[in-house]
Amino acid sequence: MAANFNDIIENFGFLDDWEDRYRYLIELGKDLPALAESEMNEETRVKGCASQVWVITSIDRSGVEPILTFRGQSDAHIVKGLVALTLALYSGRTASDILALDALDLFRRIGLAEHLTPQRSNGVRSMVDRIRRDARAVLNGESMP
């Protein structure tokens, strides 16, 4: 990921206008690595998003607690930026850390939640729920759907 979550939030703070923040989100989305066509399937698609969103979860079990990393993609520019923002927050963390984070609260604090359409808000919630579900499955020793 080109920028970490704290850098993104700091950059958001420098942008006063929401049109500039949307442009920044679009730029973040452009930096997402592409997924292979074969990775964009029903199994990786996030249900509940109006736009097409796919999230791939990888698990590194070499440490004391597994580390989850995420890759994602969307077919819509702003949503792709929201994917990038969400993955920057969650990727590279332990399952416990992921479950302890409240992304929706963080997004509210930066004013993002109030500037998203209800459909986009639902999509972000669906993506966060999916990531948290994967983290719970890893902690419980379950296989991920």
Alpha carbon 8 to chain centroid distance? 13
Give the residue from 109, 40, 104, 47 showing the smallest Cα distance to 71: 40
Name the active-site residue from 46, 49, 82, 89: 49
**Residue the block writes with tokens 């993002």:** 112
The residue count of the chain comes to 145
**Cα separations in angstroms, 106 against 1, 33, 136, 137:** 19, 24, 20, 23
CB 74, CB 53: distance < 8 Å: yes
Burial label for 47, CB within 10 Å (0-12, 13-18, 19+), is exposed
Is 49 catalytic? The answer is yes
- End-to-end Cα separation, the chain, in angstroms: 25
Which of the residues are catalytic? 49
